[in-house]
Amino acid sequence: MGAVSAAALSGRDQLPGAGRIVVKVGSSSLTSADGHLDPQRLAAVVDLLAARRAAGTQVVLVSSGAIAAGIGPLGLAARPRDLATQQAAASVGQGLLVAHYTRAFAAHGLTVAQVLLTAEDTWRRGQYRNAHRALTRLLDLGVVPIINENDAVATDEIRFGDNDRLAALVSHLVHADALALLTDVDALYTGPPSRAGSQRIAQVRGLSEIEGIDVTARGSAVGTGGMLTKLESVAIATQSGIPVLLTSVAQGAAGLTGQDVGTWFDATGRRRSIRLLWLAHAARTRGRLVLDEGAVRAVVDRRTSLLPAGVTGVEGEFEAGDPVELVDAAGAVVARGLVAYDAQEVPQLLGRSTGELREALGAGYDRELVHRDDLVLVRRRG
Is residue 184 marked as binding? yes
| DSSP structure string for 27-89 | GGGTB-TTS-B-HHHHHHHHHHHHHHHHTT-EEEEEE--HHHHHHTTTT-SS---SHHHHHHH
| Nearest in space to 24 (alpha carbons), one of 222, 195, 245, 243 | 245
- CB within 8 A of 69, min separation 6: which ones? 36, 37, 89, 92, 93, 94, 96, 97
CA distance 202 to 262: 6
CA distance 12 to 20: 14
CA distance 365 to 54: 58
Is residue 151 marked as binding? yes
> Residue 316: in which H helix or E strand, if any?
strand 311-316
Is residue 85 marked as binding? no
| Nearest in space to 346 (alpha carbons), one of 298, 291, 304 | 291
The answer to whether the beta carbons of residues 28 and 219 sit under 8 Å apart is yes
Is residue 226 marked as binding? yes
CA distance 61 to 46: 10
Is residue 225 marked as binding? yes
Is residue 230 marked as binding? yes
- CB within 8 A of 231, min separation 6: which ones? 188, 207, 210, 215
287-291 and 311-316 beta bridge pairing = antiparallel
Is residue 64 marked as binding? yes
CA distance 86 to 69: 11
CA distance 360 to 349: 10
Binding site for substrate, residues?
A: 64, 151, 163
Binding site as annotated, residues: 24, 64, 151, 163, 183-184, 224-230
Extract the annotated binding site for ATP.
24, 183-184, 224-230
